[in-house]
Each structure stands twice: as C-alpha cells, then as structure tokens.
Amino acid sequence: MRVVFLAPSYPPEMQEYTRGLAEVGAEVYGIGDSAPGSLPKKLRGYLTDYLAVPRIMDERDVVARASAWLHGRSIDRVLTNWEPLVLLAARLREAWGVPGMSVDTVRGFRDKQLMKERVAAAGLRVPRSRRVTSPSEAWAAAEQIGYPLVVKPIAGAGSADTYRVDDPKELESVLARTARVPEVSVEEYVTGEEFTYDTVSIGGRPAFENVAQYLPKPLEARSEQWISPVIITVRDLSQPKIEEGTALGRRVLGALGMGDGFTHMEWFYTPGGEAVFGEIGCRPGGAHLVDQMNYTADVDLFREWARVSCWNSFEGSTQRKYNCGIVFKRAKGNGRITRIEGLGDWLERCGPWVMDEQLLRPGTRRRDWKQTLVSDGFVIVRHPDWDACKRMAFLAATDITMYAE
Ligand SMILES: Nc1ncnc2c1ncn2[C@@H]1O[C@H](COP(=O)(O)OP(=O)(O)OP(=O)(O)O)[C@@H](O)[C@H]1O
Ligand SMILES: [Mg+2]
C-alpha cells in the first residue's frame, strides 16, 4: 500500500495522521513545503520518502514535480487532511489514475455555494442564499431574502469577513467593509444552536460519528474578545434533537458523493425544531476536535482514519463514554503573557476529568485571537454526564484568567 500524503508535518496534527498511516502498514510518501532537514525525527521514521516543494499551493507545479519524483512508481492512495489541499489531492489522483474522490466531487466540499446547491437539490434544508459580486446585487439579494442576514466570503475560513446584518443601515456599513472581497454570499440568518457533525466514512457511510456543540456559536465567539469559546462533544447521540442533525448529515454525505475519510459539517438547530445545513468539509475539524473525539470514545482516530483510507476498515471503538469539552482562553492585554490566575484551583476541582492543559506560559507572546481559534491555549475536560462536563468547562471559562499586561 503506497500512499502519497500531502503536508505530513504542517499543521502539526498531520504528523499524527502520518503515524497512523505507518501503523496500518502503508508506505508513506510525504509531499510538503517544509525543508526535509526541519522535519521532526519521529516523523521521518514514519515516512518512506519525502519531496519538498517550493510552493505547496501551486497545483501545476506540485503535479509536475511529484510525477517526476515518483518516476513510474505506482501509487495506491493520495490523501490529505488539510482543507487548502483537498483539491490538489484530487488533481493528483486524477493525473495518476488513483482511486478516490474526483475533482468535481471535492469541489462540492470546497465551494460553499456549489455545496449548498447540491445539498438543496437533494431536498435538504439549507439557508436561502445568493452569490453576489457587486453592491447592487447585494441589495437585490437582501430584498429577496429578508433580514436578519449573514454576509460572508464564498471562499471563507475562520469566520473572517463574516457579518450578521440586521437592517439596511448595517448592510451599508458591512458592504463597505467587505468591498475588497470579490465574491460574497448573502444568506438568510439561521437562529438557534450550532453543532458539528463529524464522521470517518467508508464509501460515504459513517463508520464513526460525532456531534459537538459550539458554546457560543462561532460567529459570536469571534466577535467578542472576552469570550472563552467552549466546544463540547455530545456523548448521547440518541437524543431527538441530535438525531435531527445526524440524519441530515448522513443525507448530506450522500448528496455530495462522499467517499472515504473524515468529514466535518456544521449545522443549526432552530427554535422550531429543524436541523439546517451550514457547511461541510471533506477533512477533519481543526482546533483539536479530533483529540476531543478520541477522548470521547477512547479511540485513536488518527490511526483509524488511516485504516479506513487504506483498507476500508474501521477497528476502533464507537462506544461513546464521555462528553468532552475544550475551552480556549484569550489573555487580557497585549504583548507577552505575564500571569495565569485560577488555573491551580480549577485543576484541583476538576481532578481526574482534566485530559489536557496547554495554556501559553508567562513570557510567551500572545497569539492573535482573530486569526486562531486556539488563541492563547486551551484546556480539555471530559465526563460521562453532560451537565458535569459543561459545568467544568464553563468554570474554566469564567475562573481561569490569563494576563498579558
Ligand atoms: N446562514 C447563517 N445563519 C446563522 N449563522 C451563520 C450563517 N452562516 C454562518 N453563520 C455563522 O458564522 C460562522 C462562520 O460561518 P462559516 O462556517 O460559513 O464560515 P467559515 O469562515 O468557514 O468558518 P470556520 O472556518 O470557522 O468554520 C458559523 O459558524 C456561524 O456561527
Ligand atoms: Mg464554519
């Protein structure tokens, strides 16, 4: 089993997938833009060979260099778990005749408007939306869809340039702020709670399923710096509300022609009891969501993803034992972290339920909270009982304070 794996060292969790591939018996051929000498020693042990390319986003260049490098060696899989490279992986598959999702299928997971069109064509509920390229088109779309609205870039990530718009006055100012974005989507604002639906799938059928709740929803978490965003995996997927989302999610996988591997979907649960599609990627969620899923079921999804991708089999546990919460912290002030208050008490109170604690230590420079969800670090807790898990997570949100002043 020869696997080309794109970006095996960056983002850092990709090293875990590389390990997984090696552990299930694949020969791993890595392609990335990190210099070979900079790869961690452990990672090098999992790689059969590595090609460093100058520009990993330059698709034509990477296809040409990789083809020359392989020199006729046959390849069985081309894989990636990093969103910006999912189309490149599909291009390489098509160029070399390797099985897996086609470029057209992957576009359905990449282009937000196309994605919504395909999901809606399957009779599933998506927000009403229009793709617009000028202010006059935006005004016409707003008229048609009605307020409140969301205005966001077609090729967005990390809630950048995403705004809620409640009336024409706000639309005017948001259009001024998004003037440099070439193409935006004007959407119906869906009220309600927001969740993920994550899978590791074989031929579009989930071998592992997960739901997590955003507290609060990402758009709110990213508009106020004082918020400590919390995300909790839901242990009990058999609640009627959650089942609305998993049922929607399974049908979305079918509508988009999902193949093998991770998916990460976002959906809303409205006050009227309806599950509404948000967006989906054919890759895992970021910001340690895979760690949370691993803690939820005591499973190693880094390895099980590899087994699914190479051998179409999943051997991990799917029994959900815990709700698992992550809490991201943002320091007060700018510059370097000076102190952390409340951490010792919190660790003591939560005891054995704490799974991880990676807050930036004093002396470290603060991160830009708008750029990274992980912000100035995080803690992870789990508990079999939802309320207990949520209490510990919210306690970390309110009682741990980081200072950079
Ligand atoms: N139609 C909508 N109705 C209500 N809220 C929305 C809508 N579209 C987006 N949002 C909010 O904005 C957030 C970001 O939107 P979306 O997920 O489409 O963009 P993104 O930039 O890809 O985000 P990320 O990379 O964080 O997943 C959503 O998580 C949700 O909170
Ligand atoms: Mg999103």
The CA distance from 267 to 208, in Å, is 18
Residues with CB under 6 Å of ligand 1 are 127, 150, 152, 156-160, 162, 187-190, 194, 217-219, 266, 278-279
Mark whether 278 and 163 lie in a shared domain. Answer: no
The pLDDT of residue 405: 86
Confidence of residue 157 (pLDDT cuts 50, 70, 90): low
Mark whether 226 and 241 lie in a shared domain. Answer: yes
Question: What domain range is 404 assigned to?
Answer: 323-405
Mark whether 205 and 259 lie in a shared domain. Answer: yes
Mark whether 149 and 82 lie in a shared domain. Answer: no
Does residue 338 surpass a pLDDT of 80? yes
Is there a domain that residue 167 lies in? yes
Distance 159 CA to ligand 1 centre (A): 6
Mark whether 11 and 79 lie in a shared domain. Answer: yes
The ligand placed nearest to the CA atom of residue 126 is: 1
User: Model confidence over 214-225: pLDDT tens digits?
Assistant: 999 999 998 899
Lowest-pLDDT choice from 131-135, 191-195, 301-305, 337-341: 131-135
The ligand placed nearest to the CA atom of residue 191 is: 1
Is there a domain that residue 372 lies in? yes
326: enclosing H helix or E strand? strand 323-328
CA 63 to chain centre: 26
User: Model confidence over 172-186: pLDDT tens digits?
Assistant: 999 998 888 888 889
Mark whether 331 and 395 lie in a shared domain. Answer: yes
- Domain finish residue from 277, 301, 321: 321
| 323: Cβ contacts below 8 Å, ≥ 6 apart | 232, 233, 234, 235, 296, 382, 383, 384, 385, 386, 389, 390
Report the mean per-residue pLDDT for the chain. 96
Mark whether 327 and 225 lie in a shared domain. Answer: no
The pLDDT of residue 158: 59
User: Model confidence over 344-393: pLDDT tens digits?
Assistant: 999 999 999 999 999 999 999 999 988 888 999 999 999 999 999 999 99
CATH number of the domain residue 155 falls in: 3.30.1490.20
The pLDDT of residue 137: 95
Shortest-distance atom of ligand 1 to CA 220: 31
**What's the pTM?**
0.96
Residue nearest to atom 20 of ligand 1 (CA): 157
Torsion angles phi and psi, residue 327, rounded to 5: -125, 120
Residue nearest to atom 18 of ligand 1 (CA): 279
Does residue 160 surpass a pLDDT of 80? no
Residue nearest to atom 15 of ligand 1 (CA): 159
The ligand placed nearest to the CA atom of residue 186 is: 1
The pLDDT of residue 156: 61
Distance 2 CA to ligand 1 centre (A): 37
Mark whether 90 and 162 lie in a shared domain. Answer: no
CATH number of the domain residue 55 falls in: 3.40.50.20
Mean pLDDT computed over 269-293: 97
Mark whether 170 and 291 lie in a shared domain. Answer: no
> Total structural domains in the chain?
4
